[in-house]
Structures are given as C-alpha cells and as structure tokens.
Chain A
C-alpha cells in the first residue's frame, strides 16, 4: 500500500468546514490537544506502517530544518 495523494474525500469543502467547526470555541492549547488526538485516531485507522511513514515524511516536507 502507499499513501493516497490524489483527492479522496467526496465533499472536500464540507469536510474542511467540519474540521474548523470541531475546533470552534477552543483555546490554542485545546486545539493543539485536539489535533494530537485526531492524528492518533486517524493513524490507528490507517495502521499500515509504510503509509504512515509516507504521511509523516510528506507532513514534515518543507517544515523547519531537515529532521
């Protein structure tokens, strides 16, 4: 398996709005904690080590100094 990078969410605008709505009313710290939980939940759903590794690399790409 490899990471899906082509569009894969049917109603992408709807999802984006749901994501923001989920954070509504939270402080920055609470939002950060929510994001951390969300990452763990989604990562568990994916499960596949190769896909997760590719996702981590893609997320890191262009952020700060090389890891």
Chain B
C-alpha cells in the first residue's frame, strides 16, 4: 500500500487578528529536524511555535536509515519505540564487486544496547510520529500552511513575516531556528551561502513494492552485471517497500531516466522479475556543503538548512538530529537565563565539527563511487581488484561510512586507564541495568553517574549511583574499580574521574554549561 498523505488541518493563527506576544522560540520548518527540535525544547520546558509552508509529511523517498544515536534521541522525545517497532532493524552491510562479495560490515557487534545499530523507516512515518507527539504537547504550537516570506533581525529578537491562506502576519521570537531544509529560504533571506563541493553524478532513486524475502541488510554493488560500470544500493523498508539507488553517470538526461519505461526494465534487472509496483522515482545530484556559521545573531540554522551531504552514509537526517541534541539543552539554558549566550557558540563549534566529519565521510564515499577519470579511477579500480583477492583491501572499499555520533574534542578532566568509548566528548554508551537501560536513567539535565561508588551530590545535577555490572565495567571502568562521570543533558560525557571532590565536578559542570569546554 502506498503511504496515504493526509493533510493536517490549518487553523487561523492568532497573529492575524492581533499582534502575538513575543515567543521564546520560533521554528521555521516542520521536517524531521524542526519537529524534533520543538520536542527536545519541550523536554527542557521551553515552549515553541513551529511554522511550515506545507500541510503534509515528506513526500516521496528521502531518509530511510536512522542510526542508533538518532533512535536514542527519538526515544528521549517519545517516539523511539514506535520507530523501532515499525521499522526494519539491520546492522550488516554487504558489498559486491561484479558478482563477488568483497566487504561486509557489522555496525553493532556487541549486545547490551536498547537501540539497534540502524532502523530503516521511511521519512514520512518518522514525521507522522513526530507530528503526533508535537500536537499532543502543550508546549508546542504547530502551524501548517504558514510560510515564512521574510525575516528581520533585531539585537535581541527576530521577526518573521508569515503568509497564510488568510493573509500575512508578523511573528516575533527571542530566537528563530531555521529548519527549513537544504534550499532554506531563511538562509537566502539573510544573504548567506554554502561553502563546499558539488558532485557531477546522478543517482536514480526508486521505491518499489514487492513481496520478497531479502534479508534485512544493506546491499551495495560496484559494477554489477545488472548495471554495468555503475553502482547500485538496495535497502529493505517496512510495508514490503524496497529502495533502490542506481548510479546513472553525469551524461544522462534526468527527465528521460525518470520515465517508467526506462526505470522498470532497470529495476527488473536488479530484482530479477517484473512482479513489483513502482511507488516513487526521482533523480538526484549530490552536494557536501555547509554554512560557515550556524548561529547568525538571533537566527540559528539546524539540519539541512545548515549543512547537506550526499546520502551514502545516512548522515543528513542523522546529522541534523545531532544538531538538535547539541542545541536543545543549551538554548533552554539561555532562554531560562541560566547560561550565557556563549553556550550557543559552543553549539556552533561542536556542530561545525560534526558537520565537517559528516561532510568528509560522505565526500570520500561519493568520490569512491564516482571517481574522476585518471588517477582517482585508477586507485578505485585497484582497490576493487585487490578486494577480490586479499583481505587488506576490503576495508578500503567505500560504499558509505554509516552515521555515527562524533566525539567532540572537549578540553575536560579525564582519568587515564578508563575506556576509550566513554571518553569526554563521546556519547555515554548505553548498558543494560536490572530494571531497564542506562540512557533511560540519565536526567533531562546534568547527571553525576557513579559506578561502583557513592554519587557525590552536586548542585544542578542528578546523582545516579550504580553497582558494577559486566557491561558497565567494560564501557565505563576498564581496569578501575570505580569511576565518576559527569554527563551532559545531551548524554555526552562532559568529564570523568577515578577520584574527585564535589568542587571539581561542580567546576566541570559550570564550564560545560557556559560553553567553555
């Protein structure tokens, strides 16, 4: 069954009748990132208004692969379980060259995490669940068919001029978050532009519905016999929908390639029969680019409006959720007057770092798939040739390095001998507890997590003391008998000690809150 796009109701906004009081936060765009942003802010008690020019969820086939970290974030804002239940869980990726398998990866080789490595779920479902959660949240005012047509910046607020079916109105907010996508009109209104790379390559993307029994894995082919000289990708989605990406090359006509009479025979070659229904077809070119700065006065860019990547690594939507994670608690602190605006500079710094890592990985994968003539192709082909024969070349085969949370380069207290995976700047690794999961037990604010010892009481943090389990020991202690971790509201490790006083923890907390680490 194709997805049933039900329009959401438009309601006449109050601002058409009388000026609305200034909002704390206005969010432009109800895509996955804008919606998650509003829900994350609401977790921290901050109300927001979201405006979207449209009244349906994302049309067609876009994001499908949601990473473990994204699922943890979505879980925190209330829709993680739904996504996992509806989605197709996977963790193994297999890569072929011609008809030989050359590389296999397993993205979550260890047990003991609440969330799986990846879930495939169509973007329209994720948005549907987010909209439902937002509409049920008293702190969120979600307005469909409200298009921002101009933005003005003042010293301590921003103003959006909004067009509705009933006319225009002005909306003032202390902070305006632009989540209006890759073509961001707000970015253009502020006269800002992207820096980075465009790739001279085209991919055909098709969703087909068929009854088939492909395993829940990511399958990628270089130069497959069914699509000579190019590459292809197959993903399984819920509802018997399969997504197929086919590389077309630059010298092709996108309009021609989109026609069913051309698409259907191509797909027939991939799946080996014609017993499928074409659900969606589009042709994409890709770019890896970003804004130089994401915080621009009172306007903050988050998600695709701030950075775009080619999709082989699933770093677009997942990267945007990383922004949401890093911004929510900080903006809440600033709005509540508990944190200085410098905290937002720390958000900007961290997410530029995150965006650069995503851009680097996505650009490298795209180059490997689509090498320029000459030396790039020479080495790409050399790697594929060797990967058929020797082990060392297999990890060099780059069909996409899938999204993982970055480890922020924090300058923060650390103790030698504790495990790498939980070092300052990394997301606190999940672990099973007697009655649930570690990540569920972390507070909305800062947490002082003590493993194998008493948890010091630090003002502004929740104390959580846990007995040593094998998973906690492996992920948090290494060889140590006990350790104390300061964990940020976004579940990133802020600092850690094997021995410390309350003052040191308090100082690390203040530094983190103020954006100094």
> Which A residues are within 8 Å of any B CB, using their own CB?
32-33, 36-37, 39-41, 44
- Which of B381, B390, B392, B396 sits near A33, CB closer than 8 Å? B381
Q: Are A37 and B385 neighbours in the complex by a CB distance under 8 Å? A: yes
> Which B residues are within 8 Å of any A CB, using their own CB?
378-379, 381-383, 385-386, 390, 392-393, 396
Q: Are A40 and B379 neighbours in the complex by a CB distance under 8 Å? A: yes
Q: How far is the CA of A41 from the CA of B381 in the complex (A)?
A: 14
Q: Are A36 and B378 neighbours in the complex by a CB distance under 8 Å? A: yes
Q: Which residue of A lies closest to B383 (CB)?
A: A40
Q: How far is the CA of A36 from the CA of B396 in the complex (A)?
A: 14
Tell me which residues across on chain B come within 8 A of A41, comparing CB atoms: 386, 390, 392
Q: Apart from A39-B379, A40-B393, list 4 A-B contacts with CB within 8 A.
A: A33-B381, A33-B382, A36-B381, A40-B379
Q: How far is the CA of A41 from the CA of B392 in the complex (A)?
A: 8
Q: Are A32 and B378 neighbours in the complex by a CB distance under 8 Å? A: yes
Q: How far is the CA of A41 from the CA of B390 in the complex (A)?
A: 9
Tell me which residues across on chain B come within 8 A of A37, comparing CB atoms: 382, 385-386
Q: Are B392 and A44 neighbours in the complex by a CB distance under 8 Å? A: yes
Q: Are B385 and A33 neighbours in the complex by a CB distance under 8 Å? A: yes
Work out how many contacts link A and B, with CB atoms closer than 8 A: 25
Tell me which residues across on chain A come within 8 A of B382, comparing CB atoms: 33, 36-37, 39-40
Q: Are A36 and B392 neighbours in the complex by a CB distance under 8 Å? A: no
| 10 pairs of A and B residues whose beta carbons are closest in the complex | A36-B382, A44-B392, A37-B382, A36-B378, A36-B379, A40-B382, A37-B386, A32-B378, A40-B386, A33-B382
Tell me which residues across on chain B come within 8 A of A32, comparing CB atoms: 378
**A5 to chain B: closest CB distance in Å?**
24
Q: How far is the CA of A52 from the CA of B486 in the complex (A)?
A: 39
**A28 to chain B: closest CB distance in Å?**
12
Q: What are 18 of the A-B contact pairs (CB < 8 Å)? A: A32-B378, A33-B378, A33-B382, A36-B379, A36-B381, A36-B382, A37-B382, A39-B382, A40-B379, A40-B382, A40-B383, A40-B386, A40-B393, A41-B386, A41-B390, A41-B392, A44-B392, A44-B393
Q: Which residue of A lies closest to B392 (CB)?
A: A44
Tell me which residues across on chain A come within 8 A of B385, comparing CB atoms: 33, 37
**B144 to chain A: closest CB distance in Å?**
52
**B372 to chain A: closest CB distance in Å?**
14
**B368 to chain A: closest CB distance in Å?**
13
Q: Which residue of B lies closest to A36 (CB)?
A: B382
Q: How far is the CA of A36 from the CA of B379 in the complex (A)?
A: 6
Specify which of A32, A33, A40, A44 lies most central, judged by the most chain B CB atoms within 10 Å of its CB.
A40
Q: How far is the CA of A36 from the CA of B386 in the complex (A)?
A: 10
**A8 to chain B: closest CB distance in Å?**
22
Q: How far is the CA of A32 from the CA of B376 in the complex (A)?
A: 12
Q: How far is the CA of A44 from the CA of B379 in the complex (A)?
A: 14
Tell me which residues across on chain B come within 8 A of A36, comparing CB atoms: 378-379, 381-382
Tell me which residues across on chain B come within 8 A of A40, comparing CB atoms: 379, 382-383, 386, 393, 396
Q: Which residue of B lies closest to A44 (CB)?
A: B392
Q: How far is the CA of A41 from the CA of B382 in the complex (A)?
A: 10
Q: How far is the CA of A44 from the CA of B386 in the complex (A)?
A: 12
Tell me which residues across on chain A come within 8 A of B378, comparing CB atoms: 32-33, 36
Tell me which residues across on chain B come within 8 A of A33, comparing CB atoms: 378, 381-382, 385
Q: How far is the CA of A44 from the CA of B383 in the complex (A)?
A: 12
**B222 to chain A: closest CB distance in Å?**
16
Q: How far is the CA of A40 from the CA of B379 in the complex (A)?
A: 8
**A64 to chain B: closest CB distance in Å?**
12
Specify which of A32, A36, A41, A44 lies most central, judged by the most chain B CB atoms within 10 Å of its CB.
A36
Tell me which residues across on chain A come within 8 A of B396, comparing CB atoms: 40
Tell me which residues across on chain A come within 8 A of B393, comparing CB atoms: 40, 44
Tell me which residues across on chain B come within 8 A of A44, comparing CB atoms: 392-393
Q: How far is the CA of A41 from the CA of B387 in the complex (A)?
A: 11
Q: How far is the CA of A44 from the CA of B393 in the complex (A)?
A: 8
**A65 to chain B: closest CB distance in Å?**
15
Tell me which residues across on chain B come within 8 A of A39, comparing CB atoms: 379, 382
**A30 to chain B: closest CB distance in Å?**
11
**B311 to chain A: closest CB distance in Å?**
27
**B130 to chain A: closest CB distance in Å?**
43
Q: How far is the CA of A44 from the CA of B396 in the complex (A)?
A: 11
**B97 to chain A: closest CB distance in Å?**
14
Q: Which residue of A lies closest to B389 (CB)?
A: A37
Q: How far is the CA of A39 from the CA of B393 in the complex (A)?
A: 12
Q: How far is the CA of A39 from the CA of B382 in the complex (A)?
A: 9
